[in-house]
Each structure stands twice: as structure tokens, then as C-alpha cells.
């Protein structure tokens, strides 16, 4: 008998296609019958950050060659719609009364070719009454210029609305022997998926709108699309082809998506749209953008007793998902892995004249981890103790039952000290410290920095379960229908492993279907590292139930009692216990059930709650103190994601996560000038990380299964990012701390490091 396929290093089924013929993305949909003769849509965008629109002249653009139509918001009769998070903030899908950030769409050009549309967009003349541009959250809070007049303030959400009191101030720390304060910036970053946004729309002869989207959540799109088009949601069919990365920025629908059906109906033709990379850098939602004021206090022996965080979340120019990240994701996780008895966390969300922020990889949890880990470093430096040992002293002890922190977060299971021990041992932490001491003694021009972080995050917090359907075809193969949506994670491999484990049907005979709302009408998509613990859990449960149902069919065909039927998963056959010579295959059963609807089972499978992956990272950097240049030379990651389904997929997620976290710590930052003009609007100006900047990542395995789902799995898609960023920021500062440097904001570029050294000397 063969063993379980689960837990083994199974090669990705997806890879041969992506490495040979390539994926089929929205821009590749050239053979879709409904999209034949499709026109191209181009969005004309605001060139100023903040201003009242006095007029929009489209006459020159409309007369250019190949132009089918030009529409403004007034032409389309667009009405203001309120934000779901602050109804006093309203906007139209195309800017009409005012513009609020560079890149905001304000007119639509429909053309025969994409190039004609791009040329015509340059011919649209907009007359503005320029207003003050508010780029910084503190500037926006202090200004009398309002981005949304009806809100009465640029503060659009505050945790006081949730009953959270104001921070109590310095009196809170009156009994502490040591108190350290800091002001830290968790800078704005761009998600930069390799596939930029794209969509296509067509009205069929049946009166239904079919829309293709590059999205992480197909099932979430029909409702807003239907609302934008004034039709019932049943009249909208969303289809998602391959998606070339999302990182949270493709969870929701954007104005550019919502208006395509409206335009297609106006011109009587299907339409397609794809943004350029420069458009993506200013139009696709940004991430992070959080200013943090931190105070930490405790005793000189290293025990932290008090922690206070006030996080100012930059919402960008719209009151959307970015607005609620701090109150609903940063605040509950503000305690991190530490047993701190007294914690206060207040958050304030502020609109600015910048690209709206969204749920970028980690979505509020990386910010919480960065804050508490930076605070721990500052506390350790103040009392002159090793940062890793101060962390160890304050860790929540191992728990296998739910643990509730002082801030009110309830974690499922945790063994934080073990993850720290494994990371320190695997990295030879003591050895690196010895090498560091030698370089310092020799006044070497290139100094070593060692950074440690210990983290916990929440995954699977979106949705309480997921849909799945498994059906067996008459040739004995199977189809899985899932409400999750792959965009690089390896769902085809993972879900096939889970279904094969339950049925014995070989993985290469299993097909995965997703992202089509007619075929999979119920689903919560892929976000918040929920896929395996909810989507995979559903597939595992449904496939198991199908296998049990199949035994009753086999019993009928074999003329035996159902209790006596055995499924031989190695051979994929059903037989009566003790008589394997007489058997029925999955194909036999599927044929037998054809007349009664087929051999199929579907369900929505719930979970007991979210899970809380944890781990520890050690980052090693080399800093040239003469130039400030930072080189990331080694990285060690212990990320506990519960029961591991496929170690190869887990390692790939960690590698990608560390790369993205390292990029924020060392390189990436979206920047604006004082007038709100983006100065990092392409990949020549924006420091996008590549393999050349990354060392080999040592992955340290650790499994602490969660009781919250059938397979004991926790999320892994964001953990590498959450653990790596504070470890590397810490490492850079550590490399020059002996020179008197106490803090460097991210990204720790050569300029910033060099300047910090000069100021300390």
C-alpha cells in the first residue's frame, strides 16, 4: 500500500504550461467569440493632484482618426456614490466635480486601436482650479483644505468610533523604569504585479453582460458591475482567465472595470482595456503607507510592561479598503508575540491626494509587526541587552489552547520561543555576532548587521468557509470547482493533491475550474492567505464525502452491503472487503450515475475561525559605511504554517514573501513631489527588487497544526513578508549602531544610511 501524498514535495502541475506556451491572460483573449470586433478603451487621467474641474474639452480628441467615442462622467450621467466606510465621502466613477490624485480617471476614449486611444487621451483639455495638494497624513490633518468637503475633516475614520478611548499619554508609563519613544514610517509601496490590470466586456444576444477580469475574487465582482450597469446581478457573468499576480491589489473592482459594460452598450460593440505600466503605478492601489508613533516601557532587566501605538493610516484619495486596515488589522495584532500586560492602540485614517491604498500583501499585519519589532529593538538598545534575548524574555509562553492578548486578539495555537530558537540555531546567530565584533574591532569599511524578528499574523480572517464541488467524469477523471482563485500560489497542484488523497484518482486526471461565476457562483476568492485553510479544506471535505457516496453506488453495482465496500486508493477501484478481484472503477460508477445527475458532490464547508501563523526571521546584511550601500547577504526564515501540504509550495511562498519584505526594507518607496506629482511612476524610477538583490533563503521547517480546520493548515502567503521586513530594517540599523545610529526609516537606501552615519558622527 502506498503512503499519503500529503506532506510530500509534489511538483507543480501548473508549471509546464507557464514555462512553455504561457498563461492565457485578459490581454490574450483574442479568440473569444463575444469579443470579436472589440474596440479599445483608454482612460484619460488627471495630471494634477487636487483641483476643481472647471471644464473638460473632448472635441479635439473626438475628431482624431480611429476614435469611436469620447465620454465624460456627465456624458454617461454618472451619480456620486458613497463610501462603504464613510458615507459622507462620495465620488463618481469618473471625476466630475474635482480631481483628488494624479492618475484619477476623468474621461473614456473608445478607439479602433489601443495606440489611437492613447494619442487621443493627450488631446483632452481639462481646465482646473488648482487646490492645495496634501501628500502627508499630518499635513492633511492640519490643513483647512478638505479633500471631501462633506466629511468636515480629512480624518475619515478613527478607532474612537469603535469605542476605543484616546491614548492616555505619558501618565500611562509612570511606573516604568525605562520608556522609549519613536516615530516610524511604514512607507507607501506599489504592488507591481507582472500583469497589470486589464478587463474586457461584451453584451451577449441574451442580454447578459460577460466581463473578463484580472481579479483575485471573481464572485465579488458581479454585484458592483451590475450596480454600475443598472442591471440585475443575474445578468452579469464574470470570467477570470490566468492572473499574473495580485498581492491584494486585485481583490476589488476599480472604476475602470465597472464602466466597461456601460461603454460597450453605448457604442454597441464589445470593448477591451489594459493599462500601461505607468498607469498601473498610479492607478492600481498602493500598500502600507502608515505613520506610527510608538512608546514602549518596562524594567531595566528587560521586561516590557507597557506599549502604546498610535497608527496614522494614509487612505490615499478614496475612503476604501485602505481606510480600515489600521483599525481592523493593525490594532488587533499590535501585541505581536509578546506577553505585554498593558497595551493601548489607537488608529486614525486620513485621506490624502495620493493613489488610494488597498490590502497589499499582509494588509495591516506587517505594519503591526514592524511597529512592535522596532519598539523591541529600541527598548533593547536603551537597556544595553541583546535584542534576541529581550524578545525571548517577553514572548507569550507556548499554548495549545486559544490565548487572548491584552489588546483583545485571540490566537489559536503558538510556540513562539521554539521558532526563535530554531531560527537562531540555524543561522548560527552567535557566530554572526562574533564576526560582527571582529569587523568592528578592525574598523572595517564593511560592517555586518544582524536583525531578528518574531511575529504572529492572522490568516483566513476573510470568510468563514468556502465552496467546493468535485465531480467524476465518465472516463474516470475528476473536476474540482473552487471558490478560490489562483494567481501563482499553486492551487491546481494543492487541490489535486487533496482530492487525490481522498479518492485515489491520479493528480494528472484531475482538472481545476475557478473564476467563472456561472460555473462557480459562490466563492470568497483568494486573499488574506485563506485559500488552503478554507478553499483547500472544502475540497478535502467534499472529496471525502464524494468517496463515501461512491461506496453506496459501488455497493449497488457489486450487489453488496455498503459497509463492506472498500476503496483501494492505490488502484482507484472499489471492491468488497476480502475480494479485490471483482471491482468497479470510478469510471464505472460515473457511468452508472449518469442518468441520475452524475457522480458529484458540492458544499460550502465552514471553519472554526481564522488561524495565526507565526515564526522568526534572522536577516544578515553588509553595510559599506563609506557609501551607505546595503547588501543582503543571508536570510533565515522559520515560518510555522501548521500542517504542511506540500513543502515545495510552502518554500516558494516563503521565498517570494521574503523578497517582497526585503524590497520594502531596502529598496521600494512610492514618492511624490510637493505638488502631488508621482516621481516613481515606472520601473526605472521605482526600485523593484530582482533576484540579483536576494541571497539564498534558508527555510527552517516547523509545524504546529491548528484545530480550526480539517487539515490543520494555516496561511503562508504573507508570512515571509511579515517576518522579513523588520528583521532586515533591524539588521541595517544594527550594522551601524556602534557609530551612534539608533533608527533609519525604510527603505534603508544608501543615501539614508550614509546620512544617518554622518548625523551620528
The pLDDT value given to residue 3: 85
Residues 103-121: pLDDT tens digits? Answer: 999 999 999 999 999 999 9
Determine phi and psi for 715, rounding to 5 degrees.
Answer: -75, 155
Q: For residue 1, is pLDDT > 80?
A: no
What is the topology classification, in CATH, of domain 462-606? Answer: Aldehyde Oxidoreductase; domain 4 (3.30.365)
pLDDT of residue 2: 67
Mean pLDDT computed over 57-69: 98
> What confidence score (pLDDT) does residue 165 get?
85
- Tens digits of per-residue pLDDT, 701-722? 999 999 999 999 999 999 999 9
pLDDT in tens, 425-476: 999 999 999 999 999 999 999 999 999 999 999 999 999 999 999 999 999 9
Asked if pLDDT for residue 742 goes beyond 70, the answer is yes
**CA dist 456 → 185, 211, 371, 373, 645 (Å):** 21, 38, 13, 11, 20
Count of CB atoms situated within 10 Å of the CB of 690: 10
Q: What pLDDT was estimated at residue 435?
A: 98
For 667-685, the pLDDT digits (tens) are 999 999 999 999 999 999 9
pLDDT in tens, 577-615: 999 999 999 999 999 999 999 999 999 999 999 999 999
3-state SS string over 109-168? EEECCHHHHHHHHCCCEEEEEECCCCCCHHHHHHCCCCCCHHHCCCEEEEHHHHCCCCCC
**E-only strand ranges, 229-323:** 236-239, 271-274, 287-298, 304-316
Read off the pLDDT of residues 243-260 as tens digits, 9 standing for 90 and up.
Answer: 999 999 999 999 999 999
Cell triple for 485: 482563485
The answer on pLDDT for 238 being more than 60 is: yes
> Where do the H-state alpha helices sit in 182-275?
222-229, 255-258, 260-267
The residue written with cell numbers 469579443 in the block is 35
Q: Find out whether 758 and 743 touch, Cβ atoms under 8 Å.
A: no
Band (170; pLDDT cuts 50, 70, 90): confident
Q: For the chain, where do the domains classified as CATH 3.30.365.10 start and end?
A: 462-606
Does position 314 have pLDDT exceeding 60, yes or no?
Answer: yes
Distance between CA atoms of residues 304 and 26, nearest Å: 52
Q: Kindly report whether the global pTM for this prediction surpasses the value 0.85.
A: yes
Q: Is the pLDDT of residue 745 over 80?
A: yes
341-392: pLDDT as tens digits: 999 999 999 999 999 999 999 999 999 999 999 999 999 999 999 999 999 9
- Report, as an integer, the average pLDDT of 212-220: 98
Reduce the DSSP state of residue 66 to 3 states and report it.
Answer: coil
Average pLDDT in the chain: 97
Distance between CA 90 and CA 82 in Å, rounded?
Answer: 4
Architecture of domain 19-131+197-274: Alpha-Beta Complex (3.90)
- Contact at 8 Å (CB) between 337 and 416? yes
Question: Could you tell me which residues come within 8 angstroms of residue 760 by beta carbon, excluding any fewer than 6 positions away?
Answer: 736, 739, 740, 741
Q: Report the alpha-carbon distance of residue 403 to residue 395 in Å, rounded.
A: 13
- Where does CATH 3.90.1170.50 sit in the chain? 19-131+197-274
Q: What percentage of the chain exceeds 90 in pLDDT?
A: 98
Query: Quick one: cell of 697?
Result: 533563503
Give the pLDDT of residue 489.
Answer: 95
Amino acid at each position: 500500500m502506498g503512503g499519503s501524498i500529503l506532506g510530500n514535495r509534489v511538483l507543480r502541475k501548473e508549471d509546464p504550461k507557464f514555462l512553455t506556451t504561457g498563461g492565457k491572460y485578459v490581454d490574450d483573449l483574442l479568440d473569444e467569440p463575444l469579443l470579436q470586433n472589440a474596440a479599445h478603451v483608454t482612460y484619460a487621467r488627471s495630471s494634477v493632484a487636487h483641483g476643481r474641474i472647471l471644464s473638460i474639452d473632448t472635441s479635439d480628441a473626438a475628431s482624431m482618426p480611429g476614435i469611436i467615442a469620447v465620454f465624460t462622467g456627465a456624458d454617461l450621467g454618472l451619480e456620486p456614490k458613497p463610501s462603504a466606510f464613510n458615507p459622507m465621502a462620495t465620488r463618481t466613477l469618473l471625476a466630475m466635480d474635482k480631481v483628488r490624485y494624479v492618475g484619477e480617471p476623468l474621461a473614456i476614449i473608445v478607439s479602433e486601436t489601443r495606440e489611437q486611444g492613447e494619442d487621443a487621451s493627450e488631446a483632452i483639455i481639462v481646465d482646473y482650479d488648482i487646490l492645495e495638494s496634501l501628500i502627508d497624513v499630518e499635513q492633511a490633518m492640519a490643513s483647512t483644505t478638505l479633500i471631501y468637503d462633506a466629511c468636515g475633516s480629512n480624518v475619515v475614520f478613527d478607532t474612537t468610533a469603535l469605542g476605543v478611548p484616546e491614548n492616555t499619554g505619558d501618565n500611562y508609563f509612570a511606573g516604568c523604569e525605562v520608556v522609549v519613544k519613536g516615530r516610524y514610517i511604514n512607507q507607501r509601496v506599489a504592488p507591481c504585479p507582472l500583469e497589470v490590470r486589464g478587463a474586457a466586456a461584451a453584451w451577449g444576444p441574451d442580454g447578459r453582460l460577460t466581463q473578463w477580469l484580472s481579479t483575485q475574487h471573481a464572485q465579488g465582482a458581479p454585484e458592483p458591475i451590475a450596480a454600475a450597469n443598472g442591471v440585475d446581478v443575474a445578468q452579469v457573468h464574470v470570467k477570470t482567465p490566468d492572473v499574473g499576480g495580485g498581492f491584494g491589489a486585485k481583490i476589488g473592482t476599480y472604476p475602470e472595470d465597472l464602466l466597461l459594460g456601460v461603454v460597450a452598450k453605448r457604442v454597441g460593440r464589445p470593448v477591451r482595456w489594459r493599462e500601461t505600466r505607468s498607469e498601473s503605478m498610479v492607478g492600481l492601489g498602493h500598500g502600507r503607507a502608515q505613520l506610527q508613533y510608538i512608546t514602549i516601557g518596562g524594567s531595566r532587566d528587560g521586561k516590557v510592561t507597557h506599549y502604546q501605538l498610535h497608527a496614522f493610516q494614509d487612505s490615499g484619495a478614496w475612503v476604501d479598503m485602505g481606510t480600515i486596515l489600521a483599525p481592523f488589522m493593525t490594532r488587533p495584532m499590535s501585541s505581536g508575540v509578546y506577553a505585554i500586560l498593558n497595551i493601548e492602540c489607537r488608529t486614525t485614517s486620513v485621506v490624502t491626494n495620493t493613489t488610494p491604498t488597498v490590502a497589499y500583501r499582509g494588509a495591516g499585519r506587517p505594519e503591526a509587526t514592524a511597529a512592535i519589532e522596532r519598539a523591541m529593538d529600541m527598548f533593547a538598545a536603551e537597556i544595553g541587552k541583546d535584542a534576541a534575548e529581550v524578545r525571548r524574555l517577553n514572548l507569550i509562553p507556548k499554548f495549545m489552547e486559544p490565548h487572548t492578548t491584552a489588546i483583545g486578539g485571540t490566537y489559536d495555537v503558538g510556540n513562539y520561543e521554539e521558532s526563535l530558537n530554531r531560527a537562531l540555531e540555524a543561522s548560527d546567530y552567535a557566530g554572526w555576532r562574533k564576526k560582527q565584533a571582529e569587523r568592528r574591532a578592525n574598523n572595517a569599511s564593511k560592517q555586518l548587521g544582524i536583525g531578528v524578528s518574531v511575529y504572529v499574523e492572522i490568516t483566513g480572517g476573510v470568510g468563514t468557509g468556502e465552496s467546493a464541488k468535485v465531480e467524476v467524469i465518465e472516463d474516470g477523471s475528476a473536476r474540482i470547482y473552487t471558490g478560490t482563485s489562483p494567481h501563482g500560489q499553486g492551487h491546481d497542484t494543492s487541490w489535486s493533491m487533496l482530492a487525490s488523497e481522498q479518492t485515489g484518482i491520479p493528480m494528472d486526471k484531475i482538472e481545476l475550474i475557478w473564476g467563472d461565476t456561472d460555473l462557480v457562483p459562490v466563492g470568497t476568492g483568494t486573499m488574506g492567505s485563506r485559500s488552503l485553510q478554507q478553499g483547500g479544506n472544502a475540497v478535502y471535505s467534499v472529496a471525502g464525502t464524494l468517496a463515501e457516496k461512491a461506496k453506496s453506488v459501488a455497493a449497488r453495482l457489486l450487489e453488496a452491503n455498503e459497509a463492506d465496500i472498500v476503496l483501494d486508493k492505490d488502484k482507484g477501484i472499489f471492491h468488497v472487503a476480502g475480494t479485490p478481484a471483482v471491482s468497479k472503477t470510478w469510471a464505472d460508477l460515473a457511468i452508472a450515475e449518469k442518468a441520475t445527475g452524475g457522480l458529484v458532490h458540492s458544499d460550502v464547508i465552514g471553519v472554526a475561525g481564522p488561524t495565526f501563523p507565526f515564526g522568526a526571521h534572522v536577516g544578515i546584511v553588509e553595510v559599506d559605511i563609506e557609501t551607505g550601500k546595503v547588501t543582503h547577504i543571508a536570510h533565515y526564515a522559520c515560518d510555522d504554517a501548521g500542517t504542511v501540504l506540500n513543502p515545495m509550495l510552502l518554500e516558494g511562498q516563503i521565498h517570494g514573501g521574503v523578497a517582497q519584505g526585503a524590497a520594502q526594507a531596502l529598496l521600494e518607496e512610492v514618492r511624490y513631489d510637493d505638488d502631488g506629482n508621482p516621481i516613481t511612476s515606472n520601473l526605472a524610477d521605482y526600485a523593484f527588487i530582482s533576484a540579483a538583490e536576494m541571497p539564498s533563503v534558508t527555510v527552517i521547517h516547523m509545524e504546529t497544526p491548528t484545530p480550526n480546520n480539517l487539515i490543520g493548515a494555516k496561511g503562508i502567503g504573507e508570512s515571509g513578508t511579515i517576518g522579513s521586513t523588520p528583521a532586515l530594517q533591524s539588521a541595517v540599523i544594527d550594522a551601524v549602531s556602534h557609530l551612534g545610529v539608533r533608527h533609519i526609516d525604510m527603505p534603508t537606501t544608501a543615501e539614508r544610511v550614509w546620512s544617518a552615519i554622518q548625523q551620528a558622527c
